Chain A
């Protein structure tokens, strides 16, 4: 539904050049919610703004719904007619809502309909429908200044849906909201996706957002996508940084000469008593160092760090058994002696992403 090929964006300022996007290949399938995470300055906003060509890429192509937007005339600031029409079919939601204080809530939702050329009556009817869809039918006459943050974002979403888009872009749509409101706005996005068959590309720095709504995710670092895939795929990828960020598990071995293994459960395996089976079958003492369990995209997913006695060579057979059970198994390269390293490493990983939450 959204495909970018070798997308590059270089900002030239008077004294220097900033490469915000450095060869980004992104593929978002129809009907999925795709999350892009990364630290501040990673290039996430540049990416999403290149998708509807608010920013013209330096090189590379962008296609949305089979139409190659980069081939259409005009630039981000001076768009040609075809590009403007294409943008009308892509909805966009902003971190700071970007509602016009000069218009009522209804007027704000009517604005894109005016641009699309709806007649007066049609416009009002459709805008009211959209407000109903986001649960704000009673606020039509209010002004944006009289709404709470969550309500403002609902108006922003209603407005983004005015052109019956197949694609919705969201740049940190929940970052200005408190956790409670964030949850309800994400729920709304998820419901709308199901109801309208939307494809959603959302940008966030919060792992919780990915956990709550995303089918797929990508990690951005320094203008590049370093990991990308469906959430189950990512969780099943040994050494995945995203998986570790989604489910940080800690714990260090109790003594030297033991093997530490990270196990990820998903799908049916979460309900299987795999660990006790392992213990019984091979008569090994297993100690659990840490564990996390959560719901991702409506599915139960768990992650556990366990400790087996003996070296890795001693444990080849039990590890093979776990893999046979359909689990993702990662042998953690930690030893008791490396205790401090592991601690700081894990801490850095989570702190890195958590940093942006503070801004």
Chain B
């Protein structure tokens, strides 16, 4: 991509990030400050000593802090919808961001307030001050530098969290990096967004440090608790590195499954998506493989990149999760040599709606959610075009994007991560959903879809794939035969009830 194409992405991402982080930081401040103070006051020996309240608040804060943010993001969807009336978009992302940051900031507030000399509290009490006086005239002003340092840290953590907002269509720089750089191999976009993130994080840290230093200087420097805030500020400087690590480490962890498992030469290691691919492989493993003298080691990945890179490097012997257009694109951009062996099944993409009963009811002014990764988006737009909902520009390829639409017929689109589309179904008029995600969301492509892709001649059938040259490994040949057996056909038809269709045979070019 060229700079002129990247620039609007960066700008939009920047504003989305600013919008989400700004609001959620404000809410975290408003929520975390009283919670943190309450934790100190109700603690043993505190002014409002109250063990039950302290334990409950402490437990809530700990639970909030220990939940991985991505889980919070998904778990809070009903709550988010209740609070802001929608579960997708930047505004919707603010709710989980704020709720994730409140307990984090509350603990920092608690630490900062605890560092205030007890003698000061006693002095204010001796003057006749009550609890509010102690809090507002002694504890908070004395802890101010540490509180500012804590808020800085919280904002930076929020910037990191906001990278995951793409899951619910929140946008922001982080999701631009994931969507374009990671899923579509647009390295230039990834680099640009990562650089932009580092610049923002550094700027926030510098501003935070400056405020802390200014406050400390206003106290004549060598103040007793100036030391604490300065220590906190110094700690914060390591954050820039931490955020960079936060971007890289999860990507590395996705591949964690690779190093695991037996080293038995006879055992065939296969990387697969959990549903339905791994389920089909496990069926083969249990019921068919032993008779053929074949041992399988099935490894599950939620990700679409690592299974291929692991196959290419030989860390696994085969994979089963992808279709032809995706693999072709991957081979081209990653310079890999992965070849399809045999087709197994198709997860037909379907158009679903909770609001409308038939295709005819969808039109002018309606919003349609589509997956945001390149192949699924293209595939969705072709499905919609085939059924006359939109018109594509002549020559629009398999990776068509919203820009390739010639006539929207008044439809509006919302791009979401494929896995998140079913969750957004309540908030849009219709959505294009992948078969496997539809099954996960209790939707049946055969019964519930307004329209669905056809199996015949469909380029999106999923196949077993190996590194070029391994096609004739006898173990692979055995597995290919088993995957195309009558038993597997029956298993798929019976288990998925039309949501997933068996599509066997060699892969067309």
Contacts from A to B (Cβ < 8 Å)? 52, 54, 76-79, 84-88, 90, 92, 94, 96, 98-103, 111-112, 114-116, 142-146, 159, 162-163, 169
B222 at interface by CB-CB < 8 Å: yes
Q: Is B226's CB within 8 Å of the partner chain A? A: yes
Q: Are A101 and B128 in contact (CB under 8 A)?
A: no
Q: Contacts A79-B130, A111-B137 given: A54-B125 contact, CB under 8 Å?
A: yes
**Cβ-defined partner of A112 (8 Å) among B47, B128, B130, B218:** B128
Looking at the assembled complex, report how far the CB atom of B214 sits from the nearest CB atom of chain A, in whole angstroms. Answer: 13
**Given known contacts A98-B117, A144-B220, A146-B220, A114 and B225 CB-to-CB distance under 8 angstroms:** no
Can you list 8 A-B pairs, Cβ within 8 angstroms, ordered by A?
Answer: A79-B130, A92-B123, A98-B120, A112-B128, A115-B127, A115-B129, A143-B223, A162-B127
Chain B residues in 8 Å Cβ range of A84: 128-130
Contacts of A169 in B (CB 8 A): 126
Q: Does B133 contact A (CB under 8 A)?
A: yes
Kindly report which residue of chain A lies nearest to residue B222, judged by CB atoms. Answer: A145
> Are A115 and B220 in contact, CB atoms less than 8 angstroms apart?
no
A145 and B223 within 8 A (CB): yes
Q: Which residue of A lies closest to B215 (CB)?
A: A102
Segment of B29-37, B138-146, B394-402 engaged in the interface with chain A: B138-146
Q: Decide if A88 touches B127 in the complex (CB within 8 Å).
A: yes
Interface residue count on the B side (C-beta < 8 Å): 32
- How many whole Å from A169's CB to the nearest CB in chain B? 8
The distance in angstroms between the C-alpha atoms of A87 and B134, with both chains bound, is 14
Contact B125 A143 (CB under 8 A): no
User: 0/1 per residue, B259-278, Cβ < 8 Å to A?
Assistant: 00000000000000000000
With both beta carbons as reference points, the residue of chain B lying nearest to A55 in the complex is identified as B122
Q: Check A163–B117 contact: CB distance below 8 A.
A: no
Assembly CA distance A112 to B124 (angstroms): 8
Known contacts A98-B122, A102-B142; A143 and B220 CB within 8 A of each other? yes
User: How far does the alpha carbon of A162 sit from the alpha carbon of B125 in the complex, in Å?
Assistant: 14
Contact between chains at A102 and B126 (CB < 8 Å): no
Q: Is B48 an interface residue (CB 8 A)?
A: yes
Evaluate contact between B220 and A145: CB separation under 8 angstroms.
yes
Bound Cα distance from A88 to B133, whole angstroms? 13
Contact of A111 among B119, B124, B130, B221 (CB under 8 A): B124
Residues of A within 8 A of B218 (CB): 143
B219 in contact with A101 (CB, 8 Å) = yes
CA separation between A112 and B129, bound complex, in Å? 8
B52 within 8 A of A: no
CB of B123 within 8 A of CB of A88, answer: no
| Closest-CB distance, B300 to chain A (whole angstroms) | 50
- Give Cα distance in the complex from A163 to B124, angstroms: 13
Instruction: With CB as the reference atom, state the residue of chain A lying closest to B142.
Output: A102
Given A79-B125, A114-B137; A100-B120 close (CB under 8 Å): yes
In angstroms, how far is the closest chain A Cβ from the Cβ of B144?
6
Closest 10 CB pairs of A and B: A88-B128, A145-B220, A143-B220, A101-B223, A98-B123, A102-B141, A112-B127, A98-B119, A92-B126, A87-B128
Instruction: Please give me the residue from chain B that is nearest to A88 by CB atom.
Output: B128
Assess whether A87 is in contact with B125, with CB atoms less than 8 Å apart: yes
Q: Contacts A78-B47, A94-B119 known; A142 to B131 CB distance under 8 Å?
A: no
Q: Given that A143-B218, A143-B219 are contacting pairs, would A101 and B49 also be in contact in the complex, using a CB cutoff of 8 Å?
A: no
Query: B128-176: which have CB < 8 Å to A?
Result: 128-131, 133, 137-138, 141-142, 144
Closest CB in chain A relative to B223 CB, distance in Å? 4
Q: A102, A143, A146, A163: which has the most chain B beta carbons within 10 Å?
A: A102
> In the docked arrangement, what's the CA distance between A266 and B130, Å?
48
Closest to B221 in A: A145
Q: How far is the CA of A280 from the CA of B222 in the complex (A)?
A: 67
B46 sits at the interface (CB 8 A):
yes
B508 within 8 A of A: no
Cα distance, A143 to B220, chains bound together (Å)? 6
Q: Please, which residue of chain B has its CB at the minimum distance from the CB of A111?
A: B137
A101 contacts B137, C-beta separation under 8 Å = no
Whole-angstrom distance between the alpha carbons of A162 and B141 in the complex? 21
From B47, B117, B126, contact of A77 by CB (8 A): B47
Contact of A116 among B128, B222, B225, B226 (CB under 8 A): B128
**Complex interface: chain A residues within 8 A of B129 (CB):** 84, 115
- Whether the Cβ atoms of A163 and B48 lie closer than 8 Å is no
A interface footprint on B316-357 (CB within 8 Å = 1, 0 otherwise): 000000000000000000000000000000000000000000
A81 (CB) vs chain B CBs: closest residue: B130
CB distance from B141 to the nearest CB of A (A): 4
Q: Which chain B residues border A77 with CB–CB below 8 Å?
A: 46-49
B47: chain A residues at CB < 8 Å are 77-78
**Once bound together, how far apart are the Cα atoms of A54 and B118, in whole Å?**
12
CA distance A142 to B46 in the complex (A): 31
Seed contacts A79-B125, A169-B126; 18 additional CB < 8 Å A-B pairs:
A77-B48, A77-B49, A79-B130, A84-B128, A94-B123, A96-B119, A100-B138, A100-B141, A101-B219, A101-B220, A101-B225, A102-B219, A116-B128, A143-B223, A145-B224, A159-B123, A162-B127, A163-B127
A-contact bits for B5-42, CB 8 A (1 contact / 0 none): 00000000000000000000000000000000000000
Interface-central residue, B48, B128, B144, B219, by most chain A CB under 10 Å? B128
B118 and chain A: residue at smallest CB distance: A98
Q: Which residues of B contact A116 (CB under 8 A)?
A: 128
Tell me how far the C-beta of A289 lies from the nearest C-beta in chain B, rounded to whole angstroms: 47
Q: How far is the CB of A45 from chain B (nearest CB, A)?
A: 11
| A115 to B47 Cα, complex, angstroms | 18
Q: Are A78 and B48 in contact (CB under 8 A)?
A: yes
Residues on the A chain within 8 Å of B223, using CB: 101, 143-145
The answer to whether A163 and B220 have CB atoms under 8 Å apart is: no
> Which residues on the A side are within 8 Å of B219 (C-beta)?
101-102, 143, 145
Point out the residue from B131, B133, B141 that lies within 8 Å of A115, measured CB to CB: B133
Complex Cα gap A54–B223 (Å): 26
Cβ of A142: which chain B residues have Cβ within 8 Å of it?
Answer: 220
Rounded to whole Å, the gap between the CB of A115 and the closest CB of chain B is 5
When distances are taken between beta carbons in the complex, the residues of chain A under 8 Å from B123 are 92, 94, 98-99, 159
Residues of B contacting A100 in the complex (Cβ-Cβ under 8 angstroms): 120, 137-138, 141-142
Residue of A nearest to B225 (CB): A101
Report B-chain residues with C-beta under 8 Å of the C-beta of A86: 128
Taking CB atoms, residues of chain B closer than 8 Å to A90 are 126
Cβ-closest chain A residue relative to B127:
A112
- Report the Cα distance A145→B227, complex, angstroms: 12
Task: Please give me the residue from chain A that is nearest to B218 by CB atom.
Answer: A143
Nearest B residue to A92 via CB reads B126
Min Cβ gap A164→B in Å is 13
- Whole-angstrom CA separation of A111 from B126 in the bound complex: 12
For window 101-132 of chain B, which residues contact chain A by CB distance below 8 Å?
117, 119-120, 122-131
Name which residue of chain B comes closest to A156, CB basis.
B123
